Amino acid sequence: MGELTDTLQVVTTEGGIRVQAGDVELAEYVVMPGAPQSDSPKPYLHPLRTTAGEVVSAVRPHDHTWHNGLQFTAANLSGENFWGGRTFVRDQGYTPLDNNGSIRHVHWHHTRSADGRAELGHRLIWQTRSGEPWLLEDRFIEVSDVDFSAGSWLLTWTSRLCNTSDRQLRWGSPVTEGRPTAGYGGLFWRGPRSFVGGQVITSDGVSGDDAMGHRASWLAFVGRHDITLRQSTVVFVDRPSNVRYPTPWYVRSAPFPVVSFAVTFHEPLLLEPGEPVTFTHHAVIADGAWDTERIENYLAEKL
């Protein structure tokens, strides 16, 4: 690996926080999005950039306007939709319902940078369409290991959820409601449109469409950019401490590029009142097309 930078900056913007490494804006965390209620407004990271400045995320694509960069959310939480758009209903299909909740910023725990590491921490509340507070979330986002010579940096996202309702909550997905393969939910990434048709590989050699619903400790998406024609790689890494490790993956390279740590792909997750559950995931944002050997070497050194 190359030489790590120790000059990260955390800059407050009108709607959130930006993390910079020298002249490169690596990530912007949008805390107060101006999305309509039908998109289930929620904070997200966009743009995400490689050290070479290539953007590896998309925001408000016309086909699914609620797909925004990197975001943590749930498509079906006891009938409430924190995902956006229509809700998949068993035996009915995708149905417009008055059930689009929101995930809202409450207060910051900290925003800081030191010793080559930027850290953002805040509290959020998951509110139903009627305003009921169902979940409290403490979210921590960390940028580290920024290496310009190697062309990579590491993102760590931790979400600690606590059910604040007075009843058990059922976190599901369209799959658990009867739609095959649509198991999305949890931490979710929407890639740029130029990544359509990109390469998908996993830690155990499963690739392409076969990775849908497959369990693996990591999944990488390699895409190519318009204009520069350069390639970039985003490696999504599950953590052994997470529920249902290794995670099932929701992934598509066409008609649009998406990846989700899909913990509820095959079965719902039951959240008991007052009992917290924590998810920690990593993403390696890298210049160039990384193969399995390079990914494994990086993860062995960094994680």
pLDDT in tens, 231-247: 999 999 999 999 999 99
Read off the pLDDT band of 4 (50, 70, 90): confident
| Alpha carbons 215 and 197: distance in angstroms, whole number | 21
Q: Is residue 278 in a domain?
A: yes
| Alpha carbons 136 and 103: distance in angstroms, whole number | 9
Q: Is residue 292 in a domain?
A: yes
Bridge partners (DSSP) listed for residue 195:
none
Return the residue matching tokens 């229509």. 86
Q: Is residue 3 in a domain?
A: no
| Alpha carbons 84 and 77: distance in angstroms, whole number | 12
Burial of 236 (C-beta count, 10 Å sphere; 0-12/13-18/19+):
buried
pLDDT of residue 8: 96
| H helical segments located in 64-156 | none
Contact 202, 237 (CB under 8 A): no
The pTM of the full predicted model, rounded to 2 decimals, is: 0.97
Three-state DSSP state, 29: strand
Q: Is residue 1 in a domain?
A: no
For residue 98, the domain's CATH number is 2.70.98
Q: Which domain holds residue 114?
A: 8-302
Contact 37, 129 (CB under 8 A): yes
pLDDT of residue 101: 98
Q: Is residue 245 in a domain?
A: yes
| Alpha carbons 152 and 159: distance in angstroms, whole number | 23
pLDDT at 2 exceeding the cut of 70: no
Q: Is residue 247 in a domain?
A: yes
Burial of 121 (C-beta count, 10 Å sphere; 0-12/13-18/19+):
middle
Domains identified in the chain, total number: 1
pLDDT at 1 exceeding the cut of 80: no
Mean pLDDT of 84-97: 97
